[in-house]
């Protein structure tokens, strides 16, 4: 049985912790007329022995806000305020993050919502960033996580267990990653003993290149840095 499905704009991954291969993926070509049928056939085949526990989605178009001000009828407005009008091929969705009294609003392709509602109506759909925050429950110390995707990364900072920031940023090279990481760690006065977790989900930059560049900055010397690959992200963050 598939443990979960993981979707991005051009990829769908099926993960099973009961399988030797652990995960399989197919590339999506959304410009072809039959790509929706290909995705449907793939997920139906992979779920023949039972539904997945969860379906995940990542897009850099997301924003967090307190539960106290959230109104479901205004969900598109929250995204419009930060990113402009939602793409006509997308819909606005959201996840409740009770562990942080917050809500994550995000953009979701219409075809993916239709797929989920048609074949897996009872399976929860969750955004990567929200799931990372849920997994940080009980984290009372200072904590920084950076999840690196193909053209963007998500920076998450907790201070004394309190959520400080969880935003996506575009990048082109390791200098962009390091700049934003240092900027926000210094801005929020993160202690040098802070735990820094790096998830290489799909970086366009070799991870060793990032390590070598970070080694040139004395600011990182006292950080407790943990390096993780894509499969580690699946096992520690997305598995439910």
pLDDT at 112: 87
pLDDT at 90: 92
Among residues 91, 106, 135, which one ends one of the domains? 135
* Rounded distance between C-alpha atoms, residue 41 and residue 82, angstroms: 35
* Rounded distance between C-alpha atoms, residue 45 and residue 37, angstroms: 12
Q: In what order do the strands lie in the sheet with 4-7?
A: 23-27, 11-15, 4-7, 54-57, 125-127
Q: How many helices (H) and strands (E) does the chain have?
A: 7, 13
Among residues 111, 135, 159, which one ends one of the domains? 135
pLDDT at 19: 53
The CATH number of residue 193's host domain is 3.30.420.260
Strands 162-170 and 152-159: what pairing? antiparallel
Task: Write out the two tokens for 131.
Answer: 């799931």
- Chunked into runs of 10 residues, the chain (240 residues) has average pLDDT values of 74 70 68 74 74 88 94 93 87 92 93 87 92 79 90 92 91 94 91 86 91 92 90 79
Both 147 and 91 in a single domain? no
Range of the domain at 144: 138-238
Both 130 and 148 in a single domain? no
Both 1 and 99 in a single domain? yes
What pTM was computed for the model? Answer: 0.88
Task: Write out the two tokens for 45.
Answer: 């085949």
The CATH number of residue 42's host domain is 3.30.420.250
Task: Write out the two tokens for 105.
Answer: 């609003």
């Amino acid at each position: 049985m598939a443990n979960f499905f993981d979707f991005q704009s051009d990829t769908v991954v099926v993960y099973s912790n009961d399988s030797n291969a652990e995960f399989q993926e197919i590339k999506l070509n959304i410009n072809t007329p039959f790509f929706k049928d290909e995705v449907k056939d793939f997920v139906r085949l992979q779920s023949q022995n039972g539904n997945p526990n969860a379906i995940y989605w990542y897009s850099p178009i997301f924003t967090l806000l307190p539960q106290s001000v959230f109104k479901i009828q205004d969900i598109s407005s929250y995204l419009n305020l930060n990113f402009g009008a939602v793409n006509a091929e997308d819909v606005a969705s959201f996840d409740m993050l009770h562990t942080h009294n917050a809500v994550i609003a995000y953009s979701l392709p219409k075809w993916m919502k239709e797929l989920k509602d048609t074949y897996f109506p009872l399976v929860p759909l969750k955004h990567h960033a929200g799931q990372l925050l849920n997994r940080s429950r009980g984290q009372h110390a200072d904590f920084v996580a950076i999840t690196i995707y193909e053209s963007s990364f998500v920076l998450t900072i907790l201070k004394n267990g309190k959520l400080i920031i969880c935003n996506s940023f575009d990048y082109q090279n390791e200098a962009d990653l390091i700049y934003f990481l240092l900027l926000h760690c210094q801005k929020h006065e993160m202690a040098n003993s802070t735990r820094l977790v790096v998830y290489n989900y799909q970086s366009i930059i070799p991870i060793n290149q990032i390590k070598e560049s970070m080694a040139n900055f004395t600011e990182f010397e006292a950080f407790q840095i943990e390096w993780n690959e894509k499969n580690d992200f699946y096992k520690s963050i997305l598995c439910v």
